């Protein structure tokens, strides 16, 4: 792995640090003035060549001319654990993630590891044979194939019976599934810091380019267009890593939001934690008779009585429905193992409980807040009461030890984690 480039500075998510001897260049200032990094990393130049850096819930790297900044996770052992979360939330194939030791030249950052995953999954798909699908093609032929296009024939080849405008189905590998992999491998071959990963990526990219030479175009549109079924399900994990790399960690609706930033590779841990918990609860609810719905909108709970129409929507992260009633669940990637629940989160949870919650035993409705915290943390229990001390709703906080959960998911009984979290949430 090359050693050229800015010296990396490291801090944990949600932390603020001041680094000495760092002066932003004019190019760096222009990038910051665009506001592309505001939500991810805030930088403030101080006197004496000192730079104040404030991290949010994003982990990864930001590479400027003045320096490279690396934000590492607070709740996890390192970037490899972030990969494990990504893999589990994205429905990864049942195979172990590559070890950090497969990379050389120092401790890899998150982008290094994603590049490695792109190569690993690209090589896996090549070993098993790339998929082919029927693609609609319009072409001018000497004999009719498929369907003759009379409008195109009249406009372009009027009086030319030797040239026929046809639309037909071609069975080929130049499909969006392979184009995404080809684009990600080509980017890895150009930008991966590890020499071995770049060499492997060049070989795989050359093979994929032979199968899918058409550029993928808009990556996010390509990802959104995919519908997985039995013929392409084995591409799902490869597309998770390809999408993360091609969008700089910012796949809309998946693990991050915001504009593409070529200088940054950062994953929104708030969105990733929500996806991770959603996957755990859906797995834990399997066979229980409880339905787990994510991001459902409910327009009937806020009602404009004057205009007789909806006033707004309630959209909890999860809504569990079953024989025990309904239970809204909000997923918060916040430091609630160290401090009290924030008032705004309590108000939101109280609203969800009273508007959407329902207990089969007739008790006060509940809302559950799931948040990361170290082992041994007790979850808060908050009752919403009237001035007459009648309980109208309850809010339960359920802490999740991410390090322990990820270690157990990679152990002999991975089903224990989702089952236990489901029991704790449904209480």
Does the pLDDT of residue 93 top 90, yes or no? no
The answer to which of 57-71, 137-151, 257-271, 362-376 has the lowest mean pLDDT is 257-271
Phi, psi (deg, nearest 5) at residue 186? -65, -40
- For residue 251, the model assigns a pLDDT of 47
pLDDT in tens, 172-192: 888 899 999 999 999 999 988
Mean pLDDT value across residues 17-32: 88
What predicted TM-score, i.e. pTM, was given to this entire model? Answer: 0.79
Edge to edge, the sheet with strand 16-20 lists 16-20, 50-55, 41-46
Residue located via tokens 């799931």: 370
**What band does 258 get if pLDDT is binned at 50, 70 and 90?**
very low
- For residue 411, the model assigns a pLDDT of 84
Query: In 20-37, which positions are buried (b, 16+ CB within 10 angstroms) versus exposed (e)?
Result: eebebeeebeebbeeebb
Residue 59 parent element (H or E)? strand 58-63
Does the pLDDT of residue 259 top 50, yes or no? no
Percent of the chain with pLDDT strictly greater than 90: 43
Burial class (CB in 10 A: 0-12, 13-18, 19+), 250: buried
pLDDT in tens, 98-122: 555 555 555 677 888 889 989 999 9
Does the pLDDT of residue 18 top 80, yes or no? yes
Q: How many residues belong to the chain? A: 427
Per-range mean pLDDT, top range of 1-5, 218-222, 322-326: 322-326
- For residue 185, the model assigns a pLDDT of 96
Instruction: Write down all domains in the chain, each with its CATH number in brackets.
Output: 1-74 (no CATH), 77-132+177-246 (no CATH), 133-172 (no CATH), 273-426 (3.40.1350)
Give the three-class secondary structure for 315: coil
Burial class (CB in 10 A: 0-12, 13-18, 19+), 255: buried
- For residue 3, the model assigns a pLDDT of 43
DSSP 23: -
Residue located via tokens 């944990």: 12
Task: Tell which wins on pLDDT, 136 or 294.
Answer: 294
- For residue 6, the model assigns a pLDDT of 52
What's the distance, CA 48 to chain centroid? 39
The answer to which of 94-108, 112-126, 370-384 has the lowest mean pLDDT is 94-108
**Angle separating helix axes 236-246 and 110-128, nearest 10 degrees:** 140
Short-list 272, 370, 373, CA closest to 320: 370
The rounded distance, in Å, linking the Cα atoms of 298 and 312 is 8
């Amino acid at each position: 792995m090359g050693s050229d480039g800015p010296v990396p500075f490291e801090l944990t998510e949600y932390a603020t640090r001041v680094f000495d001897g760092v002066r932003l260049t004019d190019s760096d200032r222009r990038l910051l003035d665009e506001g592309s990094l505001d939500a991810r990393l805030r930088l403030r130049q101080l006197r004496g060549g000192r730079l104040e850096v404030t991290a949010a819930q994003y982990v990864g790297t930001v590479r400027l001319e003045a320096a490279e900044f690396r934000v590492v996770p607070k709740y996890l052992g390192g970037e490899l654990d972030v990969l494990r979360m990504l893999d589990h939330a994205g429905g990864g194939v049942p195979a172990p993630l590559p070890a950090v030791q497969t990379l050389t030249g120092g401790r890899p950052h998150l982008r290094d590891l994603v590049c490695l995953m792109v190569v690993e999954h690209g090589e896996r798909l090549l070993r098993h044979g790339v998929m082919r699908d029927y693609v609609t093609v319009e072409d001018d032929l000497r004999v009719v194939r498929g369907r003759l296009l009379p409008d195109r024939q009249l406009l372009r080849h009027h009086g030319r019976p030797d040239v026929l405008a046809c639309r037909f189905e071609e069975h080929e590998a130049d499909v969006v599934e392979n184009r995404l992999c080809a684009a990600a491998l080509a980017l890895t071959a150009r930008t991966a810091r590890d020499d071995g990963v770049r060499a492997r990526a060049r070989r795989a990219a050359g093979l994929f380019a032979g199968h899918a030479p058409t550029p993928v175009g808009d990556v996010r549109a390509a990802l959104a267009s995919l519908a997985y079924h039995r013929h392409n399900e084995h591409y799902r994990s490869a597309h998770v890593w390809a999408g993360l790399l091609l969008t700089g960690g910012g796949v809309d609706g998946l693990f991050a939001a915001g504009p593409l930033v070529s200088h940054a590779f950062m994953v929104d841990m708030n969105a990733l934690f929500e996806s991770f918990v959603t996957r755990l609860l859906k797995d834990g609810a399997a066979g229980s008779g409880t339905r787990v719905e994510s991001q459902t909108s409910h327009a009937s709970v806020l009602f404009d009585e004057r205009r007789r129409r909806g006033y707004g929507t309630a959209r909890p992260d999860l809504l569990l429905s079953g024989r025990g009633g309904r239970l809204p669940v909000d997923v918060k990637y916040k430091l609630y193992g160290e401090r009290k629940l924030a008032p705004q989160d309590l108000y939101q949870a109280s609203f969800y409980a009273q508007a959407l919650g329902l207990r089969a035993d007739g008790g006060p409705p509940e809302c559950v807040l799931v948040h990361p915290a170290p082992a041994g943390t007790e979850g808060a229990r908050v009752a919403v009461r009237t001035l007459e001390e009648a309980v109208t709703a309850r809010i339960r906080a359920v802490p999740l030890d991410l390090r322990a959960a990820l270690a157990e998911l990679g152990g002999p009984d991975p089903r224990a984690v989702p089952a236990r979290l489901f029991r704790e949430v449904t209480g």
